[in-house]
Amino acid sequence: MQQCRSAANQSTVTNSSTWLDEPLRHVIESQQFDKKALSEIFNVSREMEDVRPGTDASMQLQGRIMSTLFYEPSTRTRLSFESAMARLGGTVLSTESAGEYSSAAKGETLEDTIRTVEGYADTIVLRHFQAGSARRAANAASVPIINAGDGPGQHPTQALLDVYTIQREIGRLDNFSIGMVGDLANGRTVRSLAYVLSMYENVKMYFVAPDVVKMKDDIKDFLTEQGVSWEEVDDLKAVSADVDVLYQTRIQKERFQDRPEDYDKAKGKYIIDDDVMKLLPKHGVIMHPLPRVDEIDPAVDEDPRAAYFRQARNGLYVRMALLKLALAQT
């Protein structure tokens, strides 16, 4: 067991300016947001929950165009962004499997693709297989770039919707505990979530993962520097009894192409089932970024503490808010 304890969290170091002050509101990584920006995003997200078809609110982005440029498969993220744009009256230009069916297959660089596509759209939502690709795209772009996942790097919009869901489900973002379970080495969602939660007070993080996919040292070192209390634990049931939020993730088989033996070591080790649910506090919630494989028993779906489908729905509202705020500056 490895741990780092602190009496209280310290806020992450932020610049004097906030994301809301940026002339071009890219969404690249979780660390770029401070509590002021998050509060505004979440307030607008609550407003988005009340948007209805045919109202003035549903036409806020009329005349605006969003391009979704996805080099990796996606269902929830791509469709939620496209639904978000449509629900605000905007237009979508969509491509999936861009690496196979776009000019990238001919050798075009990401930067050249971005400079071309920005001529057709007011914002670009990018999913790419390489960590750091969203930053490269933003450096080349004159329209807002929204990172929808960059390989094993980050997934900032998922982190924002996760934090929004925690706030909606347990009513607070300070003074709670969370267990992050599963593939913590390859899971960009847990990395991004850890960065955001480090900004709040007295958040205790438990990391529950097979040895081959433990949380990477850069995240643990960052949390330690920020005074965040974290602990690596082997016993899922023990953690389940002590947390307010249990955040499960799947073992990402696609990240084990050259080492299938490690995948076999990791899969199926930590499963949320009825035995775990009996230990979870009555006020606790189960979250999952989806898709799931076998790491949550489908029987858990009927438990009101299973929040993962509500979590996916919240992604729509958060992405509506991000699109509105990002395009407000352009």
36 catalytically annotated: no
Catalytic residue among 25, 26, 127, 188: 127
Asked if residue 94 has pLDDT above 80, the reply is yes
State the average pLDDT over residues 69-76. Answer: 87
- For the chain, percent of residues with pLDDT exceeding 70: 88
* pLDDT computed for residue 15 by the predictor: 44
In the prediction, which pLDDT does 203 show?
A: 98
Among the options 35, 76, 214, 265, which is catalytic? 76
Question: Counting every residue, how long is the chain?
Answer: 330
The Cα–Cα gap between 217 and 238 comes to 23
**Helical spans, DSSP H, in 88-216:** 98-101, 110-117, 133-140, 156-170, 188-197
Active site residue 35: no
- For 211, counting Cβ atoms within 10 Å of its Cβ (0-12 exposed, 13-18 middle, 19+ buried), the class is exposed
At residue 14, the pLDDT reads: 40
| Separation between Cα atoms, residue 147 and residue 139, nearest integer Å | 13
Q: Please give the backbone phi and psi of residue 169, each rounded to the nearest 5 degrees, phi first.
A: -85, -45
Cβ-based neighbour number of residue 191 at 10 Å: 25
Beta bridge partners of 270: none
On whether the pTM is more than 0.75, the answer is yes
Higher pLDDT, 197 or 261: 197
221: three-class secondary structure by DSSP: helix
17 against 22, higher pLDDT:
22
Q: Is 122:10 a contact under the CB 8 Å cutoff? A: no
Residue 285 pairs in a beta bridge with 245
For residue 70, which phi and psi values (nearest 5 degrees)?
Answer: -115, 120
Residues 246, 271 contacting (CB under 8 angstroms): no
> So what's the pLDDT on residue 99?
59
Least confident of 28-37, 55-64, 199-208: 28-37
Beta-sheet pairing, 2-4 with 229-232: antiparallel
Residue 64 catalytic? no
Question: What integer pLDDT is reported at residue 108 of this predicted model?
Answer: 83
Active-site residue, from 155, 168, 191, 288: 155
How many other β-carbons are positioned within 10 Å of the β-carbon of residue 90? 23
Packing angle between helix 156-170 and helix 35-48, nearest 10 degrees?
70
Q: How confident is the model at residue 253 (pLDDT cuts 50, 70, 90)?
A: low
CB atoms within 10 A of CB 264: 12
Q: How far is CA 282 from the centre of its chain?
A: 25
278 part of the active site = no
| pLDDT exceeds cutoff 50 at 13 | no
Catalytic residue among 25, 26, 64, 77: 77
What are 136-154's pLDDT values in tens digits? 999 999 999 999 998 878 8
239: confidence class by pLDDT, cuts 50, 70, 90: very high
Tell me what pLDDT residue 41 has. Answer: 96
What is the rounded CA–CA span in Å between residue 188 and residue 132? 12
The helix, strand and coil proportions of the chain, stated in percent and rounded to the nearest 5, come to 45, 15, 40
The pLDDT value recorded for residue 4 is 56
How do residues 258-292 score in pLDDT, each as one tens digit? 677 766 676 778 999 999 999 999 999 999 999 89
Q: Is 305 a catalytic residue?
A: no
Buried b (16+ CB within 10 A) or exposed e, 109-145: ebeebbeebbeebbbbbbbbeeeebbbbbbebbebbb
Provide φ and ψ at 178, rounded to 5°.
-135, 135
The pair of three-digit structure tokens given for residue 310, joined into one six-digit string: 């509500």
The pLDDT of residue 52 = 97
Predicted confidence (pLDDT) per residue in 292-302, tens digit: 999 999 999 99
Confidence at residue 7, expressed as pLDDT on a 0 to 100 scale: 38
